[in-house]
Structure formats: structure tokens, C-alpha cells
Structure 1
């Protein structure tokens, strides 16, 4: 079987010119946790979508698009997400992926009333018993790289909130044992994060933010990246019973 990355957007052009696209960053951070095949499918095209049973797992990337646009390709992707959920195929959503999974499964997405969240930000883990396996070896607080304006303002039914930040109540959530979603970017290293801050500096300034201080604080976030690897190790390679 293979791990399929569902591409929903492009990296910021200024960053992509130096570092490539989301797919290569995701593969880098997963590393040797996955020894099977990889495949990328751009869901924005007219090519037929993969079936829920075609993969060992799916990962949905970030995007500069907004789930609230309700574009035809988004609606098709939401239907696939519901099929994946019904099939209990492991699924990991990143940023836009986190949001579209929530929207597809009965949650709600809107512009974050607390404003843009961008840069290396501290994430607070929520306590659950048992602790979610994607949080293995992750402390009660860790740093993650973010860039988003929209937010999951209502979690889907049966979802468990796993983490929050000062600006984002639903920074990570799970649904059962097979769906894990994060608002941040576990595939962003410090260089990529600094590239995004520079690319968005004019917006940050227009909104009253300080891109210079954000750049100074932007660093690698290995704690965040471990959630992606833990998903592959513990949910994909060793599927769990429903929590």
C-alpha cells in the first residue's frame, strides 16, 4: 500500500523557489517512519480522486485557499474525506487540511476572530486519558510553526481537542483512532517559517503586527514534527482500536 498526500495548495512562491513544495517537506519530516510508497494527488484538478481504500493513509496539505469559498474541488474533497472516515482509513490534516476535515465531518470553519496566527508559537497540550498516541514523547507545551487566518470554530461531533494556542482554541484534534488534524505546519522548519513571515510581512504590518520580532523568534519546531511521525508510526503502521 501507499501513503497518499492530497495536495490542496502551493507553497508561497518565494519559499517554493528555494525549498520546493509541501510534499517534499512532509516526506522529509516523516523520514524512516514510513518505508512504503508515496503518492501525491492534486485535488484541485479534474483527475478522478483516489478511493478511500487505495491507501494505507492520507495526508491533506495546507493551502492559501479558504474552506469557506466552497469551491467545487473542495466539495469533492469533502466527499472523499467522509468516505475515508467511513472506511476508517488513517487521515492526517494540516492547516487547511485540518479545517476541511472539520468542515466535511460536521464542524464549522470561519475567519479567526482573534486574528492571523503566524510564526513559531507555543502550543498547550490538553489532558486526556488515555493520551493520544500522536503526542508520544511530546511535552505539555511545545512549539509549532503556523500561518493561517481561518479557524475551526466548531469541532465535529465526537472530536477530541488535543491542543490550543493563545489565538487558536482548536490547534489539534482527533476523531477516534484514525483521524488526526493540526492547525499548525509540522512540515515547516525555521527557514520555511521565516520565508512565510517575509512573504506576508506587508499583511502583518497592515494588521498591526511586528514581522521583525516574528522573524527573530522563528525556529525549527521538532516537537511539532514529531506529531506527524507519531501518526505514521502509531496510527498508520499499527492501527489502533477506536478510542
Structure 2
């Protein structure tokens, strides 16, 4: 039976996992599909990547690792991604997954010169496409939860930028009809976002930001969740 494969690329902070769950739990909840339709593949902990033909769809999750670290498990996913895309299997990369998908297809990932982007941010759709299965009909601007210090500095040649903001020029992109990357976190809710900010106070200070101000601006972000729900419906 073909399944939606969630590619796990790392774990959240232990304190967050204990209270709120981990990346794969939040993604599964956001997809709004039956548990029997989903398989989690924990590549950093030794799970083998599945044969492409048994994937109904793929979600590559976020991570505390950095794409530029070129870890062996990350390079393995990177080499696997083109086959998924060329097979027209729907794939969604989130944060780390977004960057890895871009790198796998010829894009450039590097540390962001501005440091870390964290909290609830405003996102602007720059490429409105009524045929886009995930983004069509969404508001021109919406809020999303963000947490990253690396960026897709250059998109793959065949990618279309869908969304940006003043910090991040490539917050979302698409390759072909069914491969998407989103730098923001559609699977986060306000509780998860606040917990992340609190656990990353040192990094926030290093970037010259103030934790209290970030926490004070965190608010619900329902529009990105629609993107995840739409992906679930697309591949269910």
C-alpha cells in the first residue's frame, strides 16, 4: 500500500517533545489524514529511504541541523529527492526540507546574513497562480511561524518563487506541478512557536533580538495550516 512518507531529519528539543510532540506529530496532525496512510522514516537514526514507487506523497520535515553540514544522511535524502520529483510524486519540504529540496535540484543554501528569523512573521505571495494546488486563493499576505538561520540564497533554475518577506526572499517555491518548499512552519501552532523561542533565547540574543518582543508578537497563523491540509488532500 502506498503511503504518505514523512522524512524525519531530526528531533525537536526534549522538553518540547515531552509536552507537545515532535515534528512528525505536528505534520501528521496538519495533514488531516488517517494514520494508516502515513509512514515516518527517521533517516538520521538509520531508517532506509523508501523506494520512490511506494510513496503516495513525501513531506521532508524541519531539523536543528544545518543543510550546509552535508551530513551523510542528509546527502542521501538530497540524492533521493530528484527521483521523487521526476516521478511526479507530490513532495513538500518544510524549513530544513525546503532548503534540502532546493539544494537537491541545483539551488544554493547558506547562512542568512541577517542571522535568525524567529516568531510570527508576515509572508507575501508574489506569484499568484490559480493552478497551484497549495497556494491558490490564499490571501496576498498572511502570518506564519518561522524559525531558521539558513536560507535558500539561490533557487534552482526551474523553480518559481511563490512567497517572500522583508527578511527571506524565498519563503516558498514550486518546481513543476507538484514539488513545493516552504521556509516557514505550517505545522507549528502558537504554543509550539513560543516554546521554540523560549528554548532558543541564546541564539535570539546573538542575533540582536529580544525574546520578550518575539513572544509578544506570536499569534495564531491559520493560513499556513491550510497549505498542509491541502497537501494531505492532494495525496490522500
How high is the TM-score relative to the length of structure 1? 0.92
1:64 alignment counterpart: 64
Is the Cα–Cα contact under 8 Å of residues 128 and 136 in structure 2 kept in the other structure?
no
1:44 alignment counterpart: 44
Q: Does 1:25 align with 2:34?
A: no
2:159 alignment counterpart: 159
Counterparts of 2:202 and 2:214, CA distance in 1: 13
* CA drift at 1:16: 1.2
Is the Cα–Cα contact under 8 Å of residues 120 and 218 in structure 1 kept in the other structure?
yes
User: Which has the higher mean CA deviation after the structures are superposed, 98-107 or 215-224?
Assistant: 215-224
Q: Does 1:86 align with 2:118?
A: no
1:145 alignment counterpart: 145
Superimposed CA distance per residue, residues 96-142 of structure 1 (whole angstroms, 9 cap, x where no aligned partner):
00000000110010001122100000000013344522113420001
User: Which has the higher mean CA deviation after the structures are superposed, 198-207 or 103-112?
Assistant: 198-207
* CA drift at 1:206: 2.6
Counterparts of 1:233 and 1:36, CA distance in 2: 15
2:105 alignment counterpart: 105
Q: Does 1:122 align with 2:122?
A: yes
1:241 alignment counterpart: none
Count of residue correspondences? 235
Counterparts of 1:180 and 1:93, CA distance in 2: 6
Counterparts of 1:36 and 1:139, CA distance in 2: 33
Uncovered stretches (5+) of structure 1, i.e. residues with no partner? 238-243
Superimposed CA distance per residue, residues 119-178 of structure 1 (whole angstroms, 9 cap, x where no aligned partner):
000000013344522113420001100100000001012101000011100000000111
Counterparts of 2:102 and 2:183, CA distance in 1: 11
Is the Cα–Cα contact under 8 Å of residues 129 and 136 in structure 2 kept in the other structure?
no
What secondary structure does 2:32 align onto? helix
Uncovered stretches (5+) of structure 2, i.e. residues with no partner? none
Counterparts of 2:122 and 2:22, CA distance in 1: 25
1:227 alignment counterpart: 227
How high is the TM-score relative to the length of structure 2? 0.95
Is the Cα–Cα contact under 8 Å of residues 180 and 231 in structure 1 kept in the other structure?
no
1:4 alignment counterpart: 5
Superimposed CA distance per residue, residues 2-41 of structure 1 (whole angstroms, 9 cap, x where no aligned partner):
1110000111222112111111111111215x67511100
Q: Does 1:16 align with 2:17?
A: yes
Residues 126 and 65 of structure 1: is their aligned pair in 2 closer, same or farther, counting only changes over 3 Å?
Answer: same
